[in-house]
Amino acid sequence: MIQKITNPVFIIVLVVMLALLVSGGCLDTSSGNLSGSNTPVSSPSASPSIPTKCTLSHRDSTGGVFLSAYNVCYFTNHTARQFLEDLTRYPGQIVSVFDPPEGWITQADAEAFMQQIDSDEPAASVVSPISSYMPFNENSTVGNEAMFLLEGYRTGRYPPALSSLYYFRPNRTEIRQWWEMYGKNQGIDEATAIRLARNGSPSLSAFPSDQFPVKTIRTEQAAGGWYVAFIIEGSGVPIIAADCYFIESNRTVIKAKSSVGPLMVMPEDFSPQTCG
Condensed to tens digits (0 to 9), the pLDDT of residues 144-186 reads 999 999 999 988 889 999 999 988 999 999 999 999 988 888 7
pLDDT tens-place string over residues 76-131: 899 999 999 999 999 999 999 988 988 899 999 999 999 999 999 999 999 998 88
The amino acid sitting at 256 is A
The predicted pLDDT at position 276 comes to 82
Among the listed residues 153, 167, 154, the one whose alpha carbon sits nearest the alpha carbon of residue 125: 167
Among the listed residues 79, 80, 77, the one whose alpha carbon sits nearest the alpha carbon of residue 52: 77
Among the listed residues 78, 87, 144, 77, the one whose alpha carbon sits nearest the alpha carbon of residue 113: 144
Give SS3 for 99.
coil
Bridge partners of 35, per DSSP, are none
Say yes or no to pLDDT of 1 above 80.
Answer: no
Q: Can you give the pTM of this predicted structure?
A: 0.65
